[in-house]
Structure formats: C-alpha cells, structure tokens
Chain A
Amino acid sequence: MSAGTAKLNVTVAEVKPINELVTRFKFVRTGGGDLPTFSGGAHTVVEMEDGGQTRLNPYSLMSDPADRGAYMVSVRRDDEGRGGSLFMHNNVKEGMEMVISNPVNLFSLDLRAKKHLMLAGGIGITPFIAQMHQLSHTNGLFDLHYSVRTASLGSYAEELQAQYPNRVHVYHDDQDERINLEELLDTQPLGTHIYVCGPKGMIDWVHKTAEELGWPREAVHSEEFLAPASGQPFEVKLAQSNKVIQVGEHQSLLEALEANDVDAPYLCRGGACGQCETTVIECDGKLVHYDHWLTDEQREAGKLIMPCVSRFEGKTLVLDQ
C-alpha cells in the first residue's frame, strides 16, 4: 500500500539500551487510546525525518500482540549502514512523536502446525518474542533455538530462558556452541513447522538442510529484511508521471520516487513482499536485482524491478511509474 494509508501517530514512551548494539523503543498512541492488535511475526514501518530526508525502515514488533497499550521494537545499530538505525539510536528520544504503519505480517505462524520450531540468529529474535507471547495465550507448543555471538550480545536471552524454561535454548558463538540442526530436525514430531529469522547464511542453511532431510517446502518459513544496498548514482525516466529523477548513492530507487512526489506502492521495503514491483519499459544497461521476490526467469527477462532494494547501472532506464 502506498504512503498515506493506514498510518498510526505514536509517541516514544521509552528508549532502553539492551546491550552495546541493541536499543529497544516503546511506542504508545499519541493522545492516548489503544493500538491495533496484531499477529506474532508482524512488523511496522517507522518513518524518520532525518534532516531533509524521510527514512522508512521496517522493524519486527516484539511486544505481546494482545497488549494494545504499547508496541515495542528493537533496533540493532549498524555503523556501516545507510543511517536508519543510527538515527534511531542517536536521535529518537522519549516523548518524541513519530509516524508508524499499521502492522503488516509477512512472517506469520501457520496455525495448523502441531508444533512451532523457531530458529533465531542475533536480532532475528524479535518476531519470535511476539510469537511466543501469542502461542502462550493459546497453549501452543513451541521451542526456540537462539544463536548469539556472546552472552553479553544475546539480547533478551536470559529473560526468555526464565520466562519459558526448557523451551528456550541459547547457543554462544564465542563458546563454539552450534545448533545441531540435522539432529534437531530429525527429532521433531510430525506436523512441526520451522521458522527461521537471522542472517542470510543461517536462513539458507536451514532451508537447505530441511530440504535435504525431506521436509515439505510449505513447512519451512523465513523472514529476512534487506537494507537497500548503496551503489553508483543513476538517472531514471518515469513514463507515467513524465519526470526524470536522480537516485543518489545511498538512496534507494523507491526513496527517490517518493522524494519526487511519486506515490509508489510499498509494504515491506525489504525486497520480500512484491508490492512495489514495477514494469521496466526501456533498459539500456544492467538491472542490479537485490530482492527475494522476482524469479530467475523474471530477472533474465529484464521487464520488472523492485525499487525498494534494486538498482541500475548503465545509460537509460525508463519505468512505468
């Protein structure tokens, strides 16, 4: 859905550092009142007014979905990134008013599952915290296996172990602890669904291992938000709105469209949902695809691009926008 629809005005009620990299933010509705309920695994897109630039970053909701009083998200600081997480860490203070989107779930539980097996890496823990809240209200069966770099960087690990004893298993990289995935998958009851959220390598590893062990594709769920990649600036012609726009080095094509008042559709802004898919009318150069949405055949055909993460290198690009 495009900008301007289904937004929530919120006030920052708490900014709490969790460890040296992760800070937690609590939002309440500006002027009071309930926030919408949501389902575990949902994210919200947080709008940031950073100088003259509007940044829109998706963050998984980690609070109890049944708690309509407040939403919580955790943001990991990325010093090499384009600045969204740094803005959250450095500029967002208690009492500040912000705009966030209604919750959107691209990583929802399959409620048919007899058991939910959750595999988290690093900051990928956050959607699972909301899902575990949701499942405990309905006596759902789950296990969480959580891989962290060190104990001090393992956000929420101790709290979760205390809250769900025997269901939460933490693995520390610096102590050479590793999830024994093959054995874990082999010992699950029939009807188990697997959920993985973490670094790309971990997601690929889980999909590949499950496939090799004969798990049905539909029983393995993953979520990975990509941050838009930086790259060479480029120029785009827009056929519908009859504009020529410039995409900056650290700007995504979608952000450039928005900065030029083009009402482009989006949902996840991370190359996953397909909402921003745009038709390429003319391309003299190379489309640089970073999304998870287009198939290999579609990429080869070169007729579609996902402006939220993908870029262009070459002479002329004309989009149906």
Chain B
Amino acid sequence: MTGVPAVELVGVGRTYDASGGPLTVLDDVDLRIDPGEQVAIVGPSGSGKSTLLGIMGTLDTPTRGEVRIAGRSTAAMDDAERSDVRARSLGFVFQQFHLLTHVDAVANVELGMLYHGYPRSERRRRATDALERVGLGHRTDHRPSQLSGGEQQRVAIARAIAHGPALVLADEPTGALDQATGESVIELLLGLDDAAVAVITHDAAIAAHLGRQVRIQDGRIRSDSRTAGVGA
C-alpha cells in the first residue's frame, strides 16, 4: 500500500502504575493501517486489545513509542487537539452501543458531530443520510428503547460514519448481539464506507470477514496476516 497511513503505531508501549508495581499492558507494538483497509484485532481477554484501540483512538496516551493519525503525530498534542482529531478523523463503535436513551436515533447520530463544528442543519442532514445508509431511514425518530439490539448498533454505526472519518474503531461491536445479527452488523460496517476499519473481536468467525487479521497476546502482536502472510 502507498500513501499516508490512516493510523501508524511505532514501538508503542503502555504501562500502568498498579498497586503491585508497574503493569505493562502493551509492549513494542508496531502497526500500520492504510486508508480503506479493514483489520480485525483478535486476542483473548486481557491481551491488551482494548488498550490498543484506545491508543489508536487518542483516548489513551502511550507511555512509549509514537502514534500518527493520518500522518500527524499525537505525541505533542494537548487534550483539545486530540479531541479535535477524534471529532474529525475517527469514529467509534462500542459493544454496548452507548446511545443516549432519552433522545431519538437522529439526535444520537447528531451527537457524533456535535463537537465537529458543523452547523445544526448540516448535522441533521448528515445524520438523516447516515441513518438511511444503515437502513434505518424510517426509524429516525425512535428512541433506543424502541429499537432492537441490532438496530441500536446500526444507529451507533451511523453515528461513527456520519462525519466521514478516516478510521472507524470498533470494540467488540457484535459482542452484545446474537450470531446472525452480529454477522449482518459486521457486513454493514464493512460495506459502508471507504474509511479504514479496525474491529476488535475475540470471535474468529467475525474476524474472518475482514481482510486482515492481527493477533495480539500479552500486549504484543503475535501475528499479522499482512506482514506474515499467515491467516488468523
């Protein structure tokens, strides 16, 4: 692949100050995800997947190494700059959907663009459009409690893509859904956009939908189907 990577991690490590001494959760991670690439990050519980996702999403800062989002190093950024990177370039999908329960679907999608700087009318237009793309154009005024789990996750996906991010980060997006619903949500997520997508999952069947699998264990990358040519 050529061009500027959507995200690039170089020698990234993350150590927490735990009560029993320093706890290293990530160690010496090198990872590059190119524009449009779809990557599954797989590994057992406690392997450091979620920490990795947090660092790629600028929600967490590494203790070692460097993170570059669309070519820009986040090391020197302050909270406001990192927040702006998230608002513009990143989209998140979570296992538990994280929708606001007391507002409707379109307002939930709009919330994803609240801190982006779009005027109100533009937010509304993009939110309605995104809901159409996830097949919920007819349910824009439904509240989360009126939607099924799969529909709620579709709203969350609409929220993640409405502003056209360079990279969508999904943390166990199918974890709260049954098998069939999970498969359809993954298909939707992968078929939607030309954004790069990174999906954390411990489900090999889900991981198989994505073009590239990165296996992580004990805070280190054990295999990467792109560099090693080895499947998951």
Instruction: State whether these chains interact.
Output: no
